[in-house]
């Protein structure tokens, strides 16, 4: 079982929240709202502590399993035949693993949900790019910070 640095899990879990505040705020907030046929007024009256608290908790879950999967992809067989975890830790290498997992798992799910829910293509694209960025940065943080 690979060792887990829980501080790196927490830091990586903050990425979707921090990046989301920028990405879905000043960067693409208006386009995102338009892709949902929402206005700023439609977002008022939500239970913000529940939304952001749940998002952070779920980001911690994602971060933990992303770290676990990255470490499992790093396994090598040592000279004595035992598995050796944690080789080749760089930000770029972790970002590659994160991007690969996003492309192979997350983006197909977002696209499928969007197609069945008749979501606008612009919304699907905005969300896919966001999660590709998140998984890449999270993967980089988790891989370089043991």
93-135 pLDDT, tens digit each: 899 999 999 999 999 999 999 999 999 999 999 999 999 999 9
Question: Per the structure block, which two tokens stand in for 125?
Answer: 């694209």
Please give the pLDDT value at position 67.
92
DSSP 8-state class, residue 36: T
Q: What percent of the chain has pLDDT over 90?
A: 75
- pLDDT tens for 35-45 read 999 998 998 98
- The DSSP bridge partners found for residue 50 are none
Whether residue 85 is predicted with pLDDT greater than 80 in this model: the reply is no
Q: Where are the domains of the chain?
A: 6-144
Q: In 4-43, which residue ranges form alpha helices assigned H by DSSP?
A: 6-22, 29-35
Whether residue 76 is predicted with pLDDT greater than 80 in this model: the reply is no
For residue 85, what are the contacts with CB-CB under 8 A and spacing of at least 6? 1, 2, 3, 71, 72, 74, 75
Please give the pLDDT value at position 146.
72
């Amino acid at each position: 079982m690979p060792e887990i640095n829980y501080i790196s899990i927490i830091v990586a879990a903050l990425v979707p929240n921090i990046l989301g505040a920028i990405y879905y705020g000043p960067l693409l907030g208006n386009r995102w709202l338009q892709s949902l046929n929402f206005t700023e007024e439609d977002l008022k009256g939500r239970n913000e502590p529940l939304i952001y608290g749940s998002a952070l908790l779920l980001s911690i879950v994602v971060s933990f399993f992303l770290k676990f999967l990255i470490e499992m992809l790093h396994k090598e067989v040592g000279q004595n035949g035992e598995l050796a975890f944690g080789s080749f830790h760089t930000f770029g290498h972790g970002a590659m693993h994160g991007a690969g997992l996003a492309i192979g798992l997350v983006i197909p799910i977002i696209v499928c949900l969007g197609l069945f829910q008749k979501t606008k293509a612009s919304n699907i694209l905005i969300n896919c790019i966001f999660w590709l960025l998140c998984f890449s940065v999270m993967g980089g943080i988790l891989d370089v910070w043991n």
